[in-house]
Amino acid sequence: ETGVTQTPRHLVMGMTNKKSLKCEQHLGHNAMYWYKQSAKKPLELMFVYSLEERVENNSVPSRFSPECPNSSHLFLHLHTLQPEDSALYLCASSHILPGQGGEKLFFGSGTQLSVL
Partner 1 sequence: SQQGEEDPQALSIQEGENATMNCSYKTSINNLQWYRQNSGRGLVHLILIRSNEREKHSGRLRVTLDTSKKSSSLLITASRAADTASYFCATDSASGNQFYFGTGTSLTVIP
Applying CB under 8 A, the residues found at the interface with partner 1 are: 2, 4, 6, 31, 33, 35, 40-43, 45, 48, 50-51, 53, 55, 88, 90, 92, 94, 96-110, 112
64/94 with CB nearer partner 1: 94
CB of residue 108 vs partner 1: minimum separation in angstroms?
A: 5
CA dihedral 26, 31, 32, 36 (to 10 degrees): -140
CB of residue 45 vs partner 1: minimum separation in angstroms?
A: 6
69/99 with CB nearer partner 1: 99
Residues 3/109, Cβ–Cβ less than 8 Å: no
CB of residue 91 vs partner 1: minimum separation in angstroms?
A: 8
From 70, 64, 72, select the one nearest 111 (Cα to Cα). 64
72/80 with CB nearer partner 1: 72
Helix or strand run (H / E) with residue 50: strand 44-50
- Maximal CA-CA distance, the chain: 44
